[in-house]
Every structure is written in C-alpha cells, then in structure tokens.
C-alpha cells in the first residue's frame, strides 16, 4: 500500500490542542470552545471517540477513510512519564506550539494512484437523524457538494514551475542555529561521559536550524515531493503551525489482520549515501552491513522496539519479522527491521501510540534516562520534531510516521492554502529544521556536528528549489 493512496481533508469537525495540562477542544459543528485540565491530552480525543460504533462501506479500500489526523509532539512523552520527565525540567519553549494537535475529519478524499481514481467520503452521525435512510440521503448531498467544490475553479491556482533535480546537492545557504558549534560538540563530549559511566548506551542529540523564505509552504512541499520522496509525504495545516515532512519511518502502526489488531514498529538506523552506480551502491550496502558500530546501534534499537511492542501485545506474539534489511531512498540507504505483535484485547490504538513515544531512534537507550539527559543538553523543546504525524481512524486503524525530515512553520493562525494571490504580496515564513545524530561511545564530536548540518541542509535544499521554481524573479 505504500505510495498507492493519498489523502486530503479540510474543515475538521473538531480540533483538540494540548499545551501543558490544558487541552482546548474546538467543536466547529456547534461553535463551542472548551478548555479542560487533564493529565493526559491523548485521553481527550480517545474519550470523544470511545463509544463510536462504525458502519463502513464495503466498497472502500482498506485504508484510512476518516478520523483523527494531526501530530503528537516529542514533549507529549512527559504525560506518559510525568514523574521521570516532567515539564519542569524541560528546555525552554521559545515557540509556544501545542504539544499535541489532532483534528477530526469526517469528510475525506482518497486518491488511488494505481487505479487513477478518487473516493469522496462523508461520515454521518446516525443519532442526528430519524432513520438510517435519512442519514444516507443527507450523506449523498454532502458528497455531491464536495465533488462540486473539488470541480470548482474558485480555489487559488497553483503556481506553475519546473523543479530541477540535483539529488546530491545540499543547500549552500547558512542557517542560524539554536546551538553554537562549540556548545554542540561539548554536549557530544558530555554524552560520551554518560555512556562511559554506564548511564546510557546511546543518545540522539539534536539542534535546530532556522531558514527565512518567501516561498509558500505548499510550494516547498511540492519541491520536497520531487527531490526527497519518502513513504510518508505530509503537508499538514494545524491551528498554530504548518508541518511539511518526508519521513521514512513508522512510529506506530495498528491495522487489522484477520481477526487480530497488529501493532508494528519499524526501527530505521544505520545510514550510507547512495552510490552513483549500481556497483558502488552494492559496495556501500556491504560496507554498511559490515560496520560493527552501525549494527550494534541498530540491534539496540530493535530491542527497544520489541520492548515498546511488548508493553501492549499479547504474551508470546511479539515477532521480529525482518532483521537488518536495506531500504533505499533517493539520497541514502538505511538498515531497517520490523517488529510486530498482536494487541491485547484490553488496549486501544491510543495505548499502542503511548507505548511507542518517543521512538528509540530519536531518543536513545535506555529511553527514559536518555531523555532526561537530552533535557539537560538541548537548548529548546523539540516540539513536533521527533514525535509523530499521522492518523487514528474511525475504525482504530492507526498509522503514525516518525516526525523526522520535518519542516515546522509557525503560523499562530489559520492560513489558507496560498498566502498570496497571483504571486504578489508574498509573506515571509520562518522555517524550522531540526536534525539529530546518534551518539555512542566512540562518536567524534566534529563528525556528529557535521551530520546534523548535512541533514538540515538536505531539507533546506527543497526550499532553494521552491524559490527557483516558483519565484523566478526573487
């Protein structure tokens, strides 16, 4: 199913934003806004949908067709471990973004890229109608209106542009960073001291870069799709930010297989650049699989994945389905493994998501101690970075991508698709790009610093290409 289906939703029915202990619920159906004080913000959307009884059409593909969509930031782990990783010890929050944003979409368009067709879907609340037939009749009208809206020419036109593909290029533009080079390298050295003392085995240290651009966020997304295609391509507008992502990694997936709900965790760690020829590519693959440092780090993360799945899976059902496969992408190849388990009858998709947060590939091992040290070393809260972006469907089917290779663009208000008309009066956007490096006992501070610079420059390249393609007179 990877890459076959694309999903579009707009005008959510409900929006849930979590910030600290406060959760704001905006119900657009009845125009209400409620602020709740809770210990776990994920419990709010979970409770809102707990009693739903779903009747799905058999004519639809077995994929997401409506439900909760949004992001669960890295810092939501503080709700899962409130005593061990409290908000009081968190780094400074200098952007004020929500820790969690989930929106309920009951109208969705699914594009089947293989069959070249689209499904237009509207969910109806049967309790709001005198009969099932009345609900179906209203649903047909809603779908007809959606189709007419899709066909209308009132939407802002997409700016035409030609994107040149230079897959080996990084952006040459220097970006301000929230850590000085010497401070980052000192943090690497401090991490190695923790490893040598036996506090942790591995830790992922990140820093955040900033890029200003007049390219529209959707233009950046269009460029990113061309130059860095990945299993998860995401353009998400939330109440206070736009997220643009090309993530290769699953944080948490729950799907139905026969009569069971199966949870999947897929660690991705160990990287080499792609070769210029098939022969060079094969040689780099062999080099990667022979690298003891990369292998030991990956095995450690597989063990973390098994532990995360084991927390919510039935006894004896946790299986490593694949171990140390090579996955190839446009710029790089990674070592990947797949861990699955059958969910306990007593747990929900939300429980599986809580158990997965955050992925070991963005925190370290042991996970809790690594996150405590991250709080000591990193300058600002991570926000959406290193959390998850995706959906929990009406039927509890869940697919959450790890928020890597993700650009975060604060808006603090709802912006429409394009921030200008006719290419005029463009708005300047602030784009945040965060990148991390996996640190172990023999990590070199200079090399680890450069790894974060290269990762951020690869994403920044998409901004360069968007400016070149859609702003020819910049």
Q: Is 136 domain-assigned?
A: no
Q: Which letter, b or e, does each residue of 313-322 get, where b requires 16 or more Cβ atoms within 10 Å of its Cβ?
A: beeebbeeee
Q: Is the pLDDT of residue 24 over 80?
A: yes
d(CA 437, CA 442): 13
Average pLDDT, the chain: 89
Q: Average pLDDT for residues 42-68, to the nearest whole number?
A: 86
Concerning whether 461 is annotated as a catalytic residue, the answer is no
Residue 415 predicted with pLDDT over 60: no
279 φψ region: left (φ > 0), alpha (ψ -120 to 50), beta (else) = alpha
pLDDT digits (tens, 9 = 90+) for 251-265: 999 998 888 999 999
Query: Is 405 noted as a catalytic residue in this protein?
Result: yes
Catalytic residue chosen out of the listed positions 361, 398, 406, 452: 361
What CATH number has the domain bearing residue 430? 3.60.120.10
Give the total number of structural domains in the chain.
1
Report which DSSP code applies to 448.
H
pLDDT (0 to 100) of residue 414: 46
The one catalytic residue in 101, 385, 391, 418 is 385
Out of 43-47, 160-164, 264-268, least confident range: 160-164
The values of phi and psi at residue 81, to 5°, are -125, 65
The share of the chain scoring above pLDDT 90, in percent, equals 66
Average pLDDT over residues 33-52: 91
Report the C-alpha gap between 457 and 431 in whole angstroms.
12
pLDDT tens digits, 127-157: 889 998 999 999 999 999 999 988 876 766 6
Local confidence band at 163 (pLDDT 50, 70, 90 cut-offs): low
Structure confidence at residue 407 (pLDDT): 98
Structure-block tokens of residue 397: 């089917």
Residue 114 has a CB neighbour count (10 Å cut-off) of 10
**Given pLDDT bands bounded at 50, 70 and 90, which one contains residue 418?**
very low
Q: Is 389 domain-assigned?
A: yes
Q: What is the pLDDT of residue 28?
A: 92
The confidence score (pLDDT) of residue 230 equals: 87
Using 50, 70 and 90 to split pLDDT, how confident is the model at 416? very low
Q: What are phi and psi of 299, to 5 degrees?
A: -60, -35
Q: Which of 50-64, 225-239, 277-291 has the highest mean pLDDT?
A: 277-291
Exactly one of 208, 211, 298, 334 is catalytic; name it.
334
Catalytic option among 369, 405, 449, 461: 405
H helices of 155-245, in order, are 181-196, 217-227
The one catalytic residue in 9, 438, 452, 461 is 438
Question: Is there a cis peptide before residue 112, judged by omega within 30 degrees of 0?
Answer: no
Range with the lowest mean pLDDT among 154-168, 360-374, 412-426? 412-426
Q: What confidence score (pLDDT) does residue 92 get?
A: 95
**In 214-356, at which residue ranges do the beta strands (DSSP E only) sit?**
232-237, 241-247, 250-257, 260-265, 268-273, 319-328, 332-342
Q: Does any domain span residue 134?
A: no
Specify the pLDDT at position 474.
60
Over residues 76-80, the mean pLDDT reads 91
- Residue with the bigger pLDDT between 174 and 73: it is 73
Task: Look at residue 338 and tell me if it is in a domain.
Answer: yes
| Residue 420 pLDDT class (50, 70, 90 cuts) | very low
Kindly report, residue by residue over 192-238, the tens digit of the pLDDT. 999 999 999 999 999 999 999 999 999 999 999 888 888 899 999 99
Mean predicted confidence (pLDDT) in 266-270: 87
Domain range for 53: 5-123+156-470
Q: Does 145 fall in a domain?
A: no
Q: Is 161 a catalytic residue?
A: no
Give me the pLDDT at residue 1, please. Answer: 44
With cut-offs at 50, 70 and 90, classify the pLDDT of residue 165.
low
- pLDDT of residue 422 exceeding 60: no
What is the C-alpha to C-alpha distance for residues 242 and 240, in angstroms, rounded to an integer? 7
């Amino acid at each position: 199913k990877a890459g076959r289906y694309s999903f579009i939703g707009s005008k959510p029915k409900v929006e849930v934003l979590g910030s600290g202990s406060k959760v704001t619920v905006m119900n657009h159906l009845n125009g209400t806004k409620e602020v709740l004080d809770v210990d776990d913000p994920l419990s709010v959307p979970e409770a809102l949908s707990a009693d739903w009884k779903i009747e799905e059409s058999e004519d639809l593909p077995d994929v997401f067709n409506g439900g909760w969509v949004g992001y669960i930031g890295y810092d939501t782990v503080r709700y899962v471990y409130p005593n061990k990783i409290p908000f009081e010890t968190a780094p400074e929050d200098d952007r004020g973004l929500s820790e969690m944003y989930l929106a309920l979409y009951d109208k969705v368009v699914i594009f089947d890229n293989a069959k070249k067709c689209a499904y237009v879907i509207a969910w109806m609340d049967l309790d709001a109608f005198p009969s099932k037939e009345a609900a179906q009749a209203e649903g047909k009208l809603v779908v007809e209106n959606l189709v007419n809206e899709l066909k209308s020419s009132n939407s802002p036109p997409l700016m035409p542009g030609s994107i040149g593909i230079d897959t080996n290029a990084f952006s040459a533009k220097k970006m301000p960073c929230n850590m000085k080079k010497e401070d980052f390298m000192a943090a690497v050295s401090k991490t190695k001291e923790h490893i040598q003392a036996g506090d942790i085995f591995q830790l992922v240290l990140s820093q955040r870069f900033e890029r200003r651009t007049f390219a529209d966020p959707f233009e950046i997304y269009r460029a990113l799709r061309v130059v860095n295609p990945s299993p998860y391509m995401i353009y998400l507008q939330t109440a206070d930010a736009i997220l643009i992502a090309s993530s290769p990694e699953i944080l948490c997936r729950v799907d139905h297989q026969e009569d069971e709900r199966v949870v999947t965790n897929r660690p991705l760690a160990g990287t080499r650049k792609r070769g210029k020829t098939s022969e060079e590519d094969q040689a780099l693959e062999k080099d990667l699989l022979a690298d003891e440092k990369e292998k030991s780090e990956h095995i450690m993360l597989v063990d973390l994945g098994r532990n995360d799945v084991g927390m919510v899976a039935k006894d004896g059902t946790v299986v490593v389905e694949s171990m140390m496969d090579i996955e190839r992408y446009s710029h790089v190849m990674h070592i990947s493994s797949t861990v699955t388990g059958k969910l306990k009858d007593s747990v929900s998709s939300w429980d599986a998501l809580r158990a997965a947060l955050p992925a070991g590939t963005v925190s370290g091992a042991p996970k809790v101690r690594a996150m405590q040290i991250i709080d000591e070393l990193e300058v600002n809260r991570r926000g959406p970075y290193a959390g998850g972006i995706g959906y929990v469907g009406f039927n509890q089917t869940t697919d959450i991508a790890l928020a890597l290779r993700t650009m975060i663009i604060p808006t603090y208000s709802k912006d429409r698709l394009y921030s200008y008309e006719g290419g005029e009066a463009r708005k300047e956007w602030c784009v945040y790009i965060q990148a991390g490096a996996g640190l172990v006992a023999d990590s070199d501070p200079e090399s680890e610093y450069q790894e974060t610079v290269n990762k951020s420059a690869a994403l920044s390249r998409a901004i360069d290409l968007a400016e070149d393609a859609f702003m020819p007179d910049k």
